[in-house]
Structures are given as structure tokens and as C-alpha cells.
Amino acid sequence: MKKVSALLKHSIIYLGAVIMILPFLWMISTSLKPPNEIFEVPIRWIPSEFYFENYVNAVTSFPFVDFFINSVIVTLCIIVGQLVTSILAAYAFARMEFKGKNLLFLLLLSGLMLPAQTIMIPMVLMLKELGLLNTLQGLIIPFSWSALIVFLLRQFFLKIPLEIEEAAAIDGCNVFQIIGKIVMPISKPIISTSIILIFIYGWNQYFWPLLIVNKEELYTLQLGLAYFKEQNVIETDWGALMAGTTLTMLPVIIVFLLFQKKVIESIAFSGGKE
Amino acid sequence: MKKNKYIGYLLILPTYILFALFFLIPLLYSFKLTFYEWNGFSPTMEFVGLQNYMMLFQSQDFINALKNTVVYAGSTVILAVFISLVLSVVVQDGIKGYQTIKGIYFLPHIVSLVAVGVVWSWVFLPNSSGLLNAIIGVFGLESQKWLADPNLAMGSLVIIGVWKSIGYNMVIFIAGLLSIPESLYEAAKIDGATKLQSFTKITVPMLKPTMFFVMVSATIYSLFQVFDIVNVTTGGGPVGSTEMLVTYLYKVGFEQFQIGYASAIAFVLFIMTALITVIQKKFIEER
């Protein structure tokens, strides 16, 4: 009886895991198939030969490299921007007293709760007014703040013992020196978690870039991939499309594999908001 | 350190400038726009009072989008929560290769919605060489058109949504299960309770708060993610069967340029999420 239930238990979980990973395997399998095997019935999971041409086609048939570079620039800048603004704000909320502090903090957190589409029209008007439409800056500046990261950092800062900072203040350090020389080194774990979270958020963004840029040379990888699929609608080169999709996912998957435990913990803790 | 009382404001200033420019002001302005008729270009806007709101409830398209959104969010949440609850309870019981399994279930959550949409379009390919058709073919079922069939498109999107969110739900459920004191189960065992009894009498009631939390956050999450998926897979079709509030809003705003009317739709969406959030907040406070 015990053995049967253990077997049942493992079958359910392993079958579920197979279903979860199947689309990924299907994607990778297709991306390596020669054209004549892509539509083969019954399905051939392992191609007769690895056809890397699909990857070459994906990278050359649309400006993949340019999109990749745009994505890297935008994501890196968003990471730096969110970290700088959030560390300062989180430190103020953890350590300073000022009027309206709690109210301001709550107001900021409300920013986590709305689907982007609710503010899209005035947002575009605002970006237009500021000359940010159709610029890379437009993909960076509006996203260089984060209620979530402020919240995460503040929680961590609150746990740092005050004595060290007080001692530094007596030695004549100003606030910025204290943050840079004391708080940040101690906070390495939460800062690295934040970097991973912002990276995934920035890399995967699709909706805002879709509104903000419509010049092809400014496309990020996600926009490019959606565009590549659209262009392909009539006679899709699924091999190249799956190769492009694999490449688009790869950076996030690598980060996930390297820091799996950290990623899962932090996303679970953050409530899954993106 | 606290000598200068303005330094706190100085530190939060960068965040709040961006927050104001790119969240708060747009949000307030959006509300104002709901009372105007405007095409987005013309220098003048016409004040029309509540007319945009009245239009909403006479519009077949709006009702359809609202209904689809509720159906999508409702079915995704119910299915995903049920499946992930069962899986969490089973996993909790000890599984070989637990870390790897957890990673596999979580993987769909971290990849981009665009990539997910593209891959699933390929899984849902409407002829016999599509993956899903090949699988159901093994059981002797006929090939379906999935995303291209008005009767199946919504169901297909729900499958994607469920697949995307199971891993995240599981992580929260497992944390909730771990927080149930082991001693309760031991006491029940001594009293001669069966496994099923301790599940229904201990696990389920103790997990209720977690369950509620997961349901609320899953509902919000489904509203967050649905635009990208629909836009990449069905574009709202076929024949409006997967048109959601967010995609309809996008079309009215940026394809038909009815800014006031679109803003009224945005406001309905805002009220919906605000309500869900209030429920969530109230519940967290109670806990």
C-alpha cells in the first residue's frame, strides 16, 4: 500500500513536470530541426542531425543583434536606475523621520497594484510632452523607479544594527558616505536579489516598449520577437522562429539556473508583481 | 544624522519625481479624460460629462471584453489554484529530486510572455503536426484548431495562463504548508486519524488564509499578463472571442483614438483591480 501510494505520488509530480517542460523541449527540438523534419508526423523529438542553420537564420534574417544590444542597454540602465533611486528612498524610509513618511510610502506601494494598461494613454501623452517617445531614454527613465525594490531594500535596512551607522556619523560621515561605505556593503545579499529581479523584469518587458518605440532600430528583443512572428504569419519559418525564441529566453534561463533558489524565494516574497 | 530634517525628502526625491511623472499624474489625468471627448490630436477637448461611461454599458464590444476578462481570469485562477494545491500537497510529502522538480515547475513563470506566446502558438498549431494535436491524436481524438477556433481560443489561452502560473502558486502553497505545525499531525495520528482525515481536518482549514492570498494575487496577476499573451497569440480574435478589457482598451485608444471612451474603460479596470487589492489588503491585515 505504501509503495503504491509513493509510486502514484511520484507519477503525478513527474508527469506534471513533463507537461510543464514540454513546450520548452518542443521549442528547442524544433529550433534544431532541418526544414523537412519540422512538420514530420509522428513527431521526431531528436532531429536526425542538429541543424544550427536555424540559429543563423534567426540572427541574420531580422536585426537580432541590434535588438539584443538595445535590450542589454535598456536592461542595464534600468537596473542601475532602479537601484540608485531605490537605495536612497529605502534608506530614508528605514532610517529617517519626516512628515508624511508613512502616507508617502503607502502611496508608492499603490503603484504595484495597477495593470499598466490603466494609465497607458496619459503615459504616452506625458512621454510625448517630455520628448521621450521613440528614444531609448524613453524605455529607461520612466522605469528607473520601483516600489517593489524600495520595499525589499527597506525591509533589509531595518534589520541592520543602528550602532555602526551612528559610530560612522560621529566620525563625521555624511548620509551618502554612510549609505555607500556601510549600508551597501552589508546589504550585498538583498542588492544582488534586487539586481536579479530587475533584470528579469527589464528583459521581459513588452507592453511599454510596444507603446514607446515604433522605430525598428529601437526595438528591444521582446518587441523584435513579436515582430518577427507577425512578419512570419503567412509562411512561418518555425525553425528560425523557435531558434530566435530560444535565444531570447536564454539570458533569463541562465540567470535562473545559476540562482534558482534566490530567484524563487525573492519572487515568491515579492508577491509575483512585475 | 537627523540634524537636517530635509535630507529624508532629498533621498526620496528621485523616486517620487519619477513616480509622480510616470504613475500618479497619468493616473489622475486618465480620470479627468473620462469626462471628455477627444481624438488625441486636436487642440480642443469637449466636456461630455458621464457620456463615456454611458457608452460603455451600451457597447456590445465592451460587454464582450468584460465578460471575456472575467471568464479568463476566473477559469485561470480556479484551475491554477486547484492544480497547484494538489501538486503542493503531494510534493510536500517528499519527492525524489525535489529541487529540480521545483525549478521545472517555476520555469514558465520567469520567461517572457512574448516568448511564451510564440512557443504556445507553435504547440497549438492547427494541423496534425502541432504538438498538442499530435498528443491528443495518440488518444484517437481529431485535430483541433485551438487558437484559431472561436469556441476553443479562450480555453487555449486559459491553458497558457494556468501553465504560466502553477509554479508561482506552488511556491506560496508550499510555504503555507510548511508553516502548519507538525505537532498537529502527530496528535491526529495518535488519535487514530487517517491521512485523508488529517488532510480535510487540519491541512485544509490551516491553509485557508494562504489559499485566499493565492487566489487574490493570481487574479491580479492574470490581469497583468493577459495583454501580452493575447497580443502575441490571437490578437483578440477569432471574432472577438478572446478580446479582453486590456486589449479592447488598447484598440479603442490607439487604433480608434477615442481617448475619452478608452479612459472610461481604463477606469473600470482600475476599479476592478482596486477592489481586488482592497480585499487582499484587508485580509493581510487580519492575518
User: Which residues have a Cβ under 8 Å from the Cβ of A261 and sit 6 or more positions away?
Assistant: B99
pTM, to two decimals: 0.91
Please say whether the dihedral angle defined by the alpha carbons of residues B100, B133, B158 and B160, taken in this order, is positive or negative: positive
Interface contact B269-A145, CB threshold 8 A: no
Q: What is the mean pLDDT of chain A?
A: 90
pLDDT score for B221: 86
Chain B residues within 8 A of A272 when measuring between CB atoms: 109, 168, 217, 221
| Mean pLDDT, rounded, for B194-209 | 85
Out of A121-125, B28-32, B42-46, B82-86, least confident range = B42-46
What does DSSP assign to residue A4? H
Interface contact B113-A88, CB threshold 8 A: no
* In contact, A143 and A202? CB cutoff 8 Å: yes
State yes or no: pLDDT of B129 exceeds 90: no
State yes or no: pLDDT of A271 exceeds 60: no
pLDDT score for A41: 77
| Each residue's pLDDT tens digit, B23-34 | 999 999 999 999
Listed by number, the residues of chain A in 186-225 with a beta carbon closer than 8 Å to a beta carbon of chain B are: 200, 203-204, 206-207, 210-211, 222, 225
| Each residue's pLDDT tens digit, A34-54 | 988 888 877 888 888 898 989
Instruction: Tell me which residue of B171, B152, B172, B149 sits closest to B160, measured CA to CA.
Output: B152
User: Which residues have a Cβ under 8 Å from the Cβ of B200 and sit 6 or more positions away?
Assistant: none
Q: In this complex, is the C-beta atom of A233 within 8 Å of any C-beta atom belonging to chain B?
A: no
| Mean pLDDT, rounded, for B228-255 | 91
| Mean pLDDT, rounded, for A213-227 | 93
> CA–CA separation, B12 vs A98, rounded Å?
11
| Each residue's pLDDT tens digit, A181-204 | 899 999 999 999 999 999 999 999
Q: What is the ipTM of this complex?
A: 0.90
State yes or no: pLDDT of B112 exceeds 90: yes
Q: Which three cell numbers stand for residue A203?
A: 528583459
State yes or no: pLDDT of B187 exceeds 80: yes
State yes or no: pLDDT of A64 exceeds 50: yes
Is residue B46 helix, strand or coil? Answer: strand
> CA–CA separation, B154 vs B238, rounded Å?
10
Chain A residues within 8 A of B39 when measuring between CB atoms: none
Chain A residues within 8 A of B245 when measuring between CB atoms: 117
Going by pLDDT thresholds of 50, 70 and 90, the confidence category of residue A68 is: very high
Interface contact B122-A98, CB threshold 8 A: no
